[in-house]
Amino acid sequence: MDFSNFLMMHQELGLLSIFVILLFFDILASGTRYMRWFRAVAVGLMSLQTIFGFFPMPEGAAFGGMYVTSDLTVLMKNVLNIGTLIVFMQAGRWLRQPENSIREGEFYVIATATLLGMYLMVSSGNFMLLYIGIEIASLPAACLAAFNKYKEKSAEAGAKYILMTALSSGVMMFGLSYLYGAMGTMYFADMSLGVALEPMTILGFVFFFSGLAFKISLVPFHMWAPDVYEGGPTATTAYLSVVSKAAAVFALLLTLHHVFGGMAHVWYYMLWVLTVATIVIGNLFAVRQKDIKRFFAYSSISQAGYIMLGVLHGTEMGLSATIYYIFVYLFSNLAAFGVIASLENRSGQTDIAAYNGLYKTNPKLALVMMLAVFSLAGIPPLGGFFSKFFIFASSAAEGDYVLVFIATINTVISLYYYLRIVKAMFINSPGEDSVGPFKTDGFNRASLVICVAGILFTGILSGCYSYISAVGFGLIQ
Amino acid sequence: MVTMEHYLIVSSIMFFVGVYGFITRKNLLAVLISIELILNSVEINFCVFNRFLYPEHMEGMFFSLFGIAISAAETAVAIAIIINVYRIANNIDVRHIDKMKY
């Protein structure tokens, strides 16, 4: 038997071995003093995985086309790795709290399992593997959302997430069954040849697309996102809003252009309407939020709309701008969630009122939050400006000026609610809800430093975008 | 004679009954059962398409096997979470799971 197929998926195998190591570490060391090394081991293994991901890898397909790897999928997996690594670094303090300490290892193990599912989503060559990947990614994520076992909000978030995700995967499978009926195959490569404009194909595609849109939280399918983001633990919220969303966008991007490229004029209008609705509704609902996690949920919904702007046209520039946007969004959003997590660990507060006068009590955290929020809004020297610029430019290059116009107006609206947080931190004086000066732990500080470096330098260092755009073009047929 | 269309009618009805149940049922377990209806309708679809249209491959059958296994896993996780909800709220009525809205 030829084992060379397995070499191609060595990133998956590496992650699987991390999963097994962490699982056994958790089982054997649970309750002993070795448990305090757990987070260091998890972060260390994850950073090894991240670093090894940047080494060049062979391209090709394994297992009869079931599994596909290329420079593009490796790049996508690297982005997911970085996000997971930062979430691991930020989660430690919350997991050390007395009510969670017995379950400390489970968080890392479950998160690694979801990451494995996301790997499969990104590099699948067959809809069956894609479906399995989505399920591996979303079922454990429901456990993560319900992780705070004794909090009612967390249980509610878990219940909402698992039911919505099960419904969405049922809808998606229904679409896949019609696609299978119309074309007789589940392989991407064979399907892309057989895409014809039959009503059944279009029906199947619509069902499939809405199932995937649930995961990205595009607007008619976004109702679960604010509740789950608010109720779930902050580390889970960060994970869902960045890594899980990024993986779903990558999967959508690959399937849209690999499989359904032949019916682009059908899904173009669908996606156009969803993009506009996502940006506008996400923005308008974010304006009236009082809870900061719920606020960032709506903000991340509207960010998903901006991401879709690049997916829409499928040009080389649009696709590399999409990946670049996600890359910058990852740093900005995780910086914000790092600050939210450290404040929540300290005081248990998630109201925006708790941020009043943060600059006077904790100037460094306030600065990190300000950079993150400015980057999400797209203020010039930061990475967020360049990612928005590239994604708008890619859309304008195709002559889609109406969409760019709507998106630009919404950027201005978004500035209003992002500045509300900055105002609370810098201008308002500390109220009774505010927290006093405190120090976060070393891992969290390191993660914030990484995020700030990412926000500051991904935009200015042009090598970052050119690295992505040099890789991205393998997708275009 | 039972043709492919008959099976597809049954599975479509099952699918939409499931969606209707998901929206209208008030008990979390009933919502879960509605989801199972949706998943089972999909599995009927796969088997029927495979048997009638593409009998030379087994792809659809395998998909439905995987689908059954995954829906079992889904049910296990969902029931675990529902039990947790019950422990905290003493209730699994969806009208009481409304701490977070708007």
What is the value of ipTM here, to two decimals? Answer: 0.95
- Residues of A within 8 A of B39 (CB-CB) are 166, 170, 173
Task: Chain A: give the shortest CA distance to residue B1, in Å.
Answer: 21
Helix (H, G, I), strand (E, B) or coil at B64: helix
Model confidence pLDDT, tens digit, residues A291-305: 899 999 999 999 999
Q: A–B: how many Cβ contacts below 8 A?
A: 119
Domains of chain B: 4-96 (1.10.287.3510)
Nearest to A156 among B19, B53, B100 (CB): B100
- Residues of B within 8 A of A185 (CB-CB) are 57, 59
Mutate to test the interface with A, among B34, B70, B85, B90 (most CBs of A within 10 A): B70
- Residues of A within 8 A of B101 (CB-CB) are 227
Helix axes A363-377, A316-347, angle to 10 degrees: 150
Asked whether the beta carbons of residue A162 and residue B99 sit closer than 8 angstroms, the reply is no
Model confidence pLDDT, tens digit, residues B41-84: 999 999 999 999 999 888 899 999 999 999 999 999 999 999 99
Model confidence pLDDT, tens digit, residues A268-293: 888 999 999 999 999 999 988 888 99
State the pLDDT at residue A407: 92
Contact of A212 with A252, CB cutoff 8 Å: yes
State the pLDDT at residue A178: 92
State the pLDDT at residue A472: 62
Domain boundaries of chain A, sorted by first residue: 263-477
A5 reaches B (C-beta below 8 A) = no
> What pTM value is reported for the model?
0.93
Q: Which residue of A has its CA nearest to B52?
A: A181
State the pLDDT at residue A477: 42
Average pLDDT over residues B34-47: 93
Asked whether the beta carbons of residue A156 and residue B99 sit closer than 8 angstroms, the reply is yes
Asked whether the beta carbons of residue A230 and residue B38 sit closer than 8 angstroms, the reply is no
Which pLDDT band, with edges at 50, 70 and 90, does B96 fall under? confident
State the pLDDT at residue A474: 57
Nearest to A139 among B46, B74, B100 (CB): B74
- Which residues are A126's β-sheet partners? A187
Task: Chain A: give the shortest CA distance to residue B57, in Å.
Answer: 9
A157 reaches B (C-beta below 8 A) = yes
State the pLDDT at residue A34: 84
Q: Spell out, as residue ranges, where chain A has pLDDT lower than 50.
A: 476-477
State the pLDDT at residue B102: 61
- Residues of B within 8 A of A231 (CB-CB) are 99-100
